[in-house]
Amino acid sequence: DSGVTQTPKHLITATGQRVTLRCSPRSGDLSVYWYQQSLDQGLQFLIQYYNGEERAKGNILERFSAQQFPDLHSELNLSSLELGDSALYFCASSPALGPAKHTQYFGPGTRLTVL
């Protein structure tokens, strides 16, 4: 158990819909990262937040957005869903200080299926 929690575990929805994925980082970790894992694209970085501020952006579609709240949990919002958005979405967190600061700890993921 990495200490990172993600809800829900599974999500099935229809094209055109909007969903929200939630992530709670490890206690004390200030950075949250979102990744997408799909069969055709592999594991891809989407976006990073650090202490509530957006820090880095990767291959994140304009239909997708994220935020990190004052309690450090993060949400990834996916809208106007398409079949190709079906994937496993991972959240990871890392601490700001200490020997583990270079390590990203991954949650169990949310499997999104768009029908």
Per CB under 8 A, residues contacting another protein are 2, 4, 31, 33, 35, 42-45, 48, 50, 55-56, 58, 90, 92, 94, 101-109
Residue with Cβ nearer another protein (1 or 14): 1
* CB nearer another protein, residue 75 or residue 106: 106
Q: Which is nearer to another protein, 87 or 92 (CB)?
A: 92
Instruction: Select 16 or 96, whichever has its Cβ closest to another protein.
Output: 96
Burial 20-49 (b: 16+ CB within 10 A, else e): ebebbbbeebbbbbbbbeeeeeeeeebbbb
Q: CB of 58: closest distance to another protein in angstroms?
A: 6
| Min separation Cβ 71 and another protein, Å | 20
Upper half-sphere CA count for residue 4 (Cβ side, 13 Å): 26
Task: Verify cis geometry, omega within 30 degrees of 0, for the bond prior to 8.
Answer: yes
Q: In whole angstroms, how close is the CB of 16 to another protein at the nearest point?
A: 28
CB of 19 to another protein, least distance (A): 19
102's tokens: 């270079």
3-state helix, strand, coil in the chain (%, to 5): 5, 50, 45
